[in-house]
Amino acid sequence: MGSPPSTMTAMPVPQPRGPLSEQIMHALTGRGANLIDTLALAKTTAPAGVLLDEDVQISLLSLYELHYRGISGVSDRWEWDPDLLAVRGVLEQRFETEIRDRTTVPGLPGDGDIAGALFAMTAPQPGPSLSRYVAQSASIEQFREFLTHRSIYHLKEADPHTWAIPRLGGSVKAALVEVQSDEYGGGRAERMHASLFARTMRAVGLDDRYGSYIDRVPAAVLAGVNAMSLFGLHRRLLGATVGHLAAMEMTSSLPSRLYGNGLRRLGYGADATLFFDEHVEADAVHEQIAGRDLAGGLAKALPDRAHDILFGAAAGLMLDDLAADHLRSCWERGAGSLLPEPR
């Protein structure tokens, strides 16, 4: 069985969520826009902050998508358009500043054990969590919402961290390739994690086409996906990409078991749970390679990247919490966590 044909499609054009994204979509779809005005707007919009601003986050997501599979009907030339890149640069600078302001980065370990520091940062915490709630209590509607949020990343799972491969060498590069190769199914498209996620989506009756739910996912979730693209596309942030990947792997195995349990509780079989079952086993391997060989190896080879490794990990955890808090706070008050369907 090969991968479904939908896996090569571009993202649909997102609905604008405010004046900034409206101008950007106008430009991208050839309806004309003055990108000098857009640049000025990017500097001043969302004065209270860009991190949770719907207009800014959908704008960033769209601008980043030009570097992945592109947006349906949008010319590939926009990817390297200097005026559009200037807009992205302004938004990124504001976004990165806010991420750093909200992130508490632990000090570098005295013994240089970056892997140990990462495992300590990601150690399982007792108490309520999204994964425990999903395992024990989530309705199928809530599980579909959860998958809908996650689809923005998981249908391109591993891609943002792959940007780091050509920036590394030697054993550190080999470690990243070892992890990514497994993420991409080891040469078998049907085992690619993005393909397994699409299978889970189909099993619960969701549309697995790339980006099909882009208009339903709020800034609280998009911010985490955009941070991965920010880290991945800037070689300056190589350490952050590596730390982000390590933290992601280290916080995956145990929750994945719980998410799988949630699906089993709701009566779904292996077809639906395979994505999560696979992550229980795979990420127990990946967290060791990513923590020790990749992050530990990078910190040893390039000590000036060590702080950013911990920053990337801490930022990823902070943004994960932000997304999880959004879901749980909506569900606790009996509300849905998705944006309304666009009219």
The closest of 223, 217, 220 to 94, measured between CA atoms, is 223
Task: Report in angstroms how near the CB of residue 22 gets to other proteins at its nearest.
Answer: 42
The number of residues that bind other proteins (CB under 8 A) is 42
For position 321 contacting other proteins by CB under 8 A, the verdict is no
Measured distance CA(215)–CA(226) in Å, rounded: 15
For position 301 contacting other proteins by CB under 8 A, the verdict is yes
Residues 6+ apart with CB under 8 A from 81: none
Q: How far, in Å, are 102, 178, 223, 229 from residue 315 at the CA level? A: 8, 24, 11, 13
Between residues 70 and 116, which has the closer beta carbon with respect to other proteins? 116
Q: Interaction with other proteins in 165-204: which residues (CB under 8 A)?
A: 169-175, 177-178, 181-182, 186, 191
Q: Which stretch binds other proteins (CB under 8 A): 24-32, 57-65, 118-126, 192-200?
A: 118-126
Q: Which stretch binds other proteins (CB under 8 A): 44-52, 94-102, 128-136, 250-258?
A: 250-258
Both tokens of 21, joined, read 């994204």
Between residues 12 and 106, which has the closer beta carbon with respect to other proteins? 106
Measured distance CA(102)–CA(268) in Å, rounded: 38
Between residues 168 and 272, which has the closer beta carbon with respect to other proteins? 168
For position 116 contacting other proteins by CB under 8 A, the verdict is yes
Residue 133: what are its φ and ψ, rounded to 5°?
-60, -45
Task: Report in angstroms how near the CB of residue 192 gets to other proteins at its nearest.
Answer: 13
Centroid of chain to Cα 212: 16
The closest of 341, 333, 328 to 138, measured between CA atoms, is 328
In the shown chain, the binding pattern of residues 197 to 236 toward other proteins, with x for contact by CB under 8 A and - for none, equals ----------------------------------------
Q: Which stretch binds other proteins (CB under 8 A): 17-25, 94-102, 116-124, 324-332?
A: 116-124
Between residues 229 and 256, which has the closer beta carbon with respect to other proteins? 256
Task: Report in angstroms how near the CB of residue 103 gets to other proteins at its nearest.
Answer: 12
Helix residue spans in the chain (DSSP H): 19-28, 35-44, 54-65, 82-102, 114-121, 130-136, 140-154, 159-162, 170-183, 193-203, 219-233, 238-250, 253-265, 270-288, 297-301, 306-332
Measured distance CA(264)–CA(131) in Å, rounded: 14
DSSP symbol at 206: -
Residues at the site binding other proteins, with contacts judged by CB under 8 A:
106, 111, 113, 115-117, 119-121, 123-124, 169-175, 177-178, 181-182, 186, 191, 253-254, 257, 280-285, 287-289, 292-293, 296-297, 300-301
